[in-house]
Amino acid sequence: MAFYRYSLPLLPLPALFLALLTEPGWTLQLPWLLLGGLWGMDELRQTFLLLTALLWTVAGVFATGYLKDRHLGRFWVFWVLTLAGNLGLTVAFDVASFYSFFALMTFAGYGLVVHEGTNEANRAGRVYLAMAVVGEMAILAGLLMAFSAAGSLLLAELPAAVASSDRRWLIMLLLLTGFGVKAGLPLLHFWLPLAHPVAPTPASAVLSGAMIKAGLLGWLVTLPIGQVSLPVWANLLVVLGAVGSLGGAVLGVRQMRPKAVLAYSSISQMGLMTLMVAGALASQAHSGAILAVLGLYVLHHGLAKGSLFLSTAMSLPSGRWQRMLMWLLIAMPGLALAGLPFTSGAMAKLAMKDVLAPSGLDFALAEYLPVLMTAGAIATMLLVWRFLWAFGARAHTGGNARGLWLGWSLATASSLLVFWWLPLPSGLPAKAWVSAMLDQAWALVWPVIVATILAGLVWRINRRGK
């Protein structure tokens, strides 16, 4: 039992070292694997690998304190398989390996979702699995068509082939849908608010922080980004992104349980990232810069969301000052999501605003992007308030196991501090840096203030109602 428990945080370490210590550009030839394998790491994948490995590590630390002995072995097996899938798909350069790891992550993830064995977990598991299978099949069909167009199993060759294929719209539809299930795209998201909250908390953290990003990575490596300008698809994705970011918030503030609020917040955040995918599809010239910012956003959101999920299982200390400090540390990653200055979120939001400026993009809905981003920031802050309220309503006072303390502190520290020393994608717009945060402090802060006032009003009205 001790082996199962204490090996959890060690397993992702090799991948973490790979992401931190190696320069992007290495590849590994595995000609005997499947239909011919090639693994490697480029800049985009380095960011994803970094997030994935880091989050799985801290969630693993947390899990050592969180898990009970019952079914520990089973949990370990599914944790390891899901982890292998999530890390593997990040470094896969060939279609067969990528799809294999993706499927491994999806199917093994079921074991994490239904682990608790409650009726609710089983129901969530059924929905998860049904939608995942549909997603896998859409991905399979899309990859098959893209592969047939490219005549090559290398992912890198797919976007150009898709761009010039006469089945382009069908391939794009299949891939957007298939990976969209994982990424929580509106109408494909139903499983997400069911499955993310019912899983054991460390699993929720990696589901919502890291695995959700696998869908996004799937889009980025297969869609014809940077090949042609596709304004129609960009418009469609802007609509979906807007529905996701605002609709996720509308549904999220109605949730009673903190983890459910966070799950909807993930849908909302993925909506904002979908806006960037829209921009990248629309503009050949800016796609490189947008991808860099997207990487930054992925890293920021994954770490913040991981920390928030882990905090849902923490009990509050009884001393007044310790209690306030703890509240602050729980709230900070949330405030980072909302873009408070000097947080990772402020950097991500400023960079995003910069690359999604309408002047650089040429499609019908581009002019609405700034409004959407601001609305998204307000929506995010509202969700954070809701989360804190829901958390406070259920919080216990008492001690926490050592593993919980360590895992949660590491996650929070990663989000708030370590983030600044991580290797960030190169090619970020200069505006993103600290001095810009001072200049733009007001632009960053006022949505937070508006949301806070709104939340306060709603709270008062609710209290009167009682």
Partner 1 sequence: MTSGALLPFFALMSSLLASVVIFALPERMHRLRVLINLGAAGVKVLLVGVMIWGISEGQQYELAFDMVPGVQFVLRADALSMLFAGLSAVLWLLTTIYAVGYLEHSPNRSRFFGFFSLCVASTTGVALSGNLFTFFLFYEMLTLSTYPLVVHRGTEKALKAGRNYIIYTLTGGAVLLLAIAWLHGLVGDLSFREGGHFADVDAALHGPLTIIFILLIAGLGVKAALFPLHGWLPQAMVAPAPVSALLHAVAVVKAGAFGIVRVVFEVYGLEAANAMGLLFGLALVAAFTIIYGSVRALYQVDLKKRLAFSTISQVSYIVLGLCLLGPVGAAGGLVHLVHQGIMKITLFFCAGNYAETLGVHRIDELDGAGQRMPGTSLAFTLGAFGMIGAPPLAGFITKWTMGTGALAAGMDWVLLVLVTSSMLNAAYFLPILHRLWFAGQHEPWPHERRWGRLETSGWLLWPPVVTAVLMVVAGLFAAMPFSPLAWVQLIVAREVAL
**Residues within the interface to partner 1 (CB under 8 A):** 31-36, 74, 96, 99-100, 103, 107, 111, 114, 117, 122, 125, 129, 133-134, 136-137, 140-141, 144-145, 147-148
Other Cβ atoms less than 10 A from the Cβ of 459: the count is 12
Provide, rounded to whole angstroms, the least separation between the CB of residue 77 and partner 1: 9
CB burial class (10 A; 0-12, 13-18, 19+) of residue 62? buried
Provide, rounded to whole angstroms, the least separation between the CB of residue 355 and partner 1: 35
* C-beta of 114 vs 355, nearer to partner 1: 114
Provide, rounded to whole angstroms, the least separation between the CB of residue 154 and partner 1: 14
Other Cβ atoms less than 10 A from the Cβ of 215: the count is 23
* C-beta of 106 vs 380, nearer to partner 1: 106
Distance CA 180, CA 269 (A): 14
Helix axes 344-355, 441-465, angle to 10 degrees: 110
* C-beta of 35 vs 364, nearer to partner 1: 35
| Closest residue by Cα to residue 351 from 269, 430, 449, 244 | 430
* C-beta of 80 vs 450, nearer to partner 1: 80
Both tokens of residue 446?
Answer: 């006022």
CA atoms within 13 A on the CB side of 57: 20
* C-beta of 37 vs 247, nearer to partner 1: 37
Provide, rounded to whole angstroms, the least separation between the CB of residue 144 and partner 1: 4
Provide, rounded to whole angstroms, the least separation between the CB of residue 87 and partner 1: 15
For residue 28, give the 3-state DSSP assignment.
Answer: strand
CB 20 within 8 A of CB 178: no
DSSP class of residue 314 equals: P
* C-beta of 178 vs 345, nearer to partner 1: 178
- Residue 142 sits at the vertex; the CA angle it makes with 139 and 147, to the nearest 5 degrees, is 120
* C-beta of 74 vs 394, nearer to partner 1: 74
Provide, rounded to whole angstroms, the least separation between the CB of residue 36 and partner 1: 5
b/e sequence 326-365, b meaning 16+ C-beta within 10 Å: bbebbbbbbbbbbbbbebbbbbbbbbbbbbbeeebbebeb
Answer left, alpha or beta for residue 71, where phi above 0 means left and psi between -120 and 50 means alpha.
Answer: left
Distance CA 218, CA 427 (A): 21
Provide, rounded to whole angstroms, the least separation between the CB of residue 176 and partner 1: 16
* C-beta of 10 vs 137, nearer to partner 1: 137
Provide, rounded to whole angstroms, the least separation between the CB of residue 222 and partner 1: 16
CB 341 within 8 A of CB 444: yes
* C-beta of 144 vs 236, nearer to partner 1: 144
CB 170 within 8 A of CB 148: no
* C-beta of 35 vs 417, nearer to partner 1: 35
Provide, rounded to whole angstroms, the least separation between the CB of residue 130 and partner 1: 8
CB 207 within 8 A of CB 195: yes
Provide, rounded to whole angstroms, the least separation between the CB of residue 288 and partner 1: 31
* C-beta of 129 vs 290, nearer to partner 1: 129
Which string of DSSP letters, residue by residue, matches 138-206? HHHHHHHHHHHHHTS-BGGGHHHHHHH-TTHHHHHHHHHHHHHHHHT-TTS-THHHHHHHHS-HHHHHH
Provide, rounded to whole angstroms, the least separation between the CB of residue 330 and partner 1: 32
Distance CA 240, CA 225 (A): 18
